[in-house]
Homo-oligomer: A and B are copies of this chain.
Amino acid sequence: MSTPGRGLHGHVLDTLGPEITAGEYPPGSVLRTDELAQRFDVSRSVMREAVRVLESMYLVESRRRVGVTVRPKSEWNVYDPQVIRWRLAGADRPRQLRSLTVLRSAIEPVAAGLAARHATSEQCAELTECALGMVAHSRGHKLEGYLLHDVAFHRVILAASGNEMFARLGDVVAEVLTGRTQHDVMFEDPDPAAVTLHVQVAEAVRAGDAARAEQLTREITVGALQELDILAP
């Protein structure tokens, strides 16, 4: 939803991207540029631009005399925000949500530890504000407001880590949290224990206690894993 259909080639991608990531074309399938151009009623130039973008996402490979062949799922650039969005909108949304939650559980505790060392005073203030906002919306079916502060909280943590790779996962985490609230679990008010943990993380970061911030965040992510029944026996 960030930059939808800006240009004809974008419109083509909005249709073709989800189809490919949904697995509608088995690996090795061949698509012809000319046929696709006809199908979408665009010129070959526009179609070629769309194919180039799909190629840069490692979804397809274009070879002379052969055509545009669909690559196996294992080669896709699953970190591309666009690919993530397409897959989250498609059939294997649950699987995608699980993968991303596991990723979160690995990244966020480390990010919180780094944030405790590198966060500016402004970031600490934002963090506290977010945590308080979560508390304020934790009762009485105010899920929208709660989600908003929850997303902001985790974004600040990732940004404050000072690591650009972590910071770029803000959108992914936002997507996971939003997806969880909207579709899957959480019909009632959030777990009070989770809310408390967020407040404590904010405190630990402010205090510069890296080990504590990391440990507390690990507890948060364990909770997220449990919600999806991903856990070690």
Interface members, chain A 94-112 (any B CB < 8 Å):
99-100, 102-103, 105-107, 109-111
Q: Does A79 sit at the interface, judged by CB under 8 A?
A: yes
Residues A168 and B99 in contact in the complex (CB < 8 Å), given A45-B45, A53-B56, A56-B53? no
CB distance from A214 to the nearest CB of B (A): 10
Question: Which among B45, B78, B210 is the interface contact of A165 at CB below 8 angstroms?
Answer: B78
> Can you offer 7 A-B residue contacts whose CB atoms are under 8 A?
A52-B53, A53-B53, A53-B55, A73-B164, A99-B165, A103-B165, A106-B166
Known: A77-B168, A78-B164. 8 other contacts (CB 8 A): A56-B56, A79-B79, A79-B168, A99-B165, A102-B165, A103-B165, A106-B106, A113-B232
- Consensus secondary structure, chain A interface: helix
In the bound assembly, the distance between CA atoms of A81 and B56 in angstroms comes to 10
Seen from chain A, the residues whose Cβ lies within 8 Å of a Cβ on chain B are 9, 45, 48-49, 52-53, 55-58, 73-74, 77-82, 99-100, 102-103, 105-107, 109-111, 113-114, 117, 163-168, 210, 232
In the bound assembly, the distance between CA atoms of A49 and B80 in angstroms comes to 18
Residues A110 and B99 in contact in the complex (CB < 8 Å), given A80-B80, A165-B79? no
A106, closest chain B residue (CB): B110
Residues A166 and B103 in contact in the complex (CB < 8 Å), given A79-B79, A80-B80? yes
Residues A81 and B77 in contact in the complex (CB < 8 Å), given A165-B102, A232-B117? yes
Interface pairs A-B: 9 shortest CB-CB: A79-B79, A106-B110, A53-B56, A49-B52, A103-B165, A99-B165, A106-B107, A56-B56, A102-B163
Contact A167 B74 (CB under 8 A): yes
